[in-house]
């Protein structure tokens, strides 16, 4: 019993957890130095403020070493019918031998849902992993808002 409570005390709580899978990928530009592509993902979002469906479009510029910079746009539809939109930027490290790449991102969000109005203009930041072989992503993060 003491083990369980100490584990609970040390567990980190996140404002948002996103698990998604690529639905489409489009190569926009390619050369011997870079690959620019656009990926659309769909999945689930769960968290402290809301849960629901996640969609995003990520425009990536990948360098020859496998690292990338990203422009991120997302849309969340909550289980209660509210919507949250956001934009931001991110980075992806080069994938390891198993095709797993660490990712980080940050940006701003907005909503028209009255119950979530404290999120308007708030900042979000996430970190996690992309499985480049399975085309899946899982990120966890937090919100910085002016409201509660």
Q: What is the mean pLDDT of the chain?
A: 92
pLDDT of 11 reads 57
Q: What is the mean pLDDT of residues 24-45?
A: 97
> What confidence category does residue 12 fall into, taking pLDDT thresholds of 50, 70 and 90?
low
Give 21-144's CATH code, choosing from 3.90.550, 3.40.1350, 1.20.58, 2.40.160. 2.40.160
pLDDT of 32 reads 95
pLDDT of 63 reads 97
In the 3-class helix/strand/coil scheme, how is 1-62 assigned residue by residue? CHHHHHHHHHCCCCCEEEEEEEEEEEEEEECCCEEEEEEEEEEEEEECCCCEEEEEEEEEEE
pLDDT of 10 reads 44
pLDDT digits (tens, 9 = 90+) for 89-144: 999 999 999 999 999 999 999 999 999 999 999 999 999 999 999 999 999 999 99
Q: What is the mean pLDDT of residues 15-25?
A: 97
pTM, whole model, 2 decimals? 0.89
Q: What is the mean pLDDT of residues 37-62?
A: 97
Cα–chain-centroid distance for residue 132? 15
Coil/strand/helix, residue 116: helix
């Amino acid at each position: 019993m003491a083990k369980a409570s100490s584990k609970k005390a040390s567990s980190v709580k996140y404002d948002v957890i996103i698990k998604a899978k690529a639905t489409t990928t489009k190569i926009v530009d390619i050369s011997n130095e870079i690959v620019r592509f656009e990926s659309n993902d769909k999945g689930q979002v769960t968290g402290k403020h809301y849960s629901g469906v996640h969609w995003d479009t990520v425009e990536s510029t990948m360098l020859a070493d496998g690292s990338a910079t990203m422009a991120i746009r997302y849309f969340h539809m909550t289980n209660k019918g509210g919507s949250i939109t956001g934009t931001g930027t991110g980075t992806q490290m080069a994938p390891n031998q198993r095709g797993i790449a660490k990712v980080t991102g940050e940006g701003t969000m907005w909503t028209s849902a009255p119950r979530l109005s404290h999120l308007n203009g708030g900042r979000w930041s996430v970190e996690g992993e992309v499985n480049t072989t399975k085309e899946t992503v899982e990120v966890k993060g937090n919100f910085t808002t002016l409201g509660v």
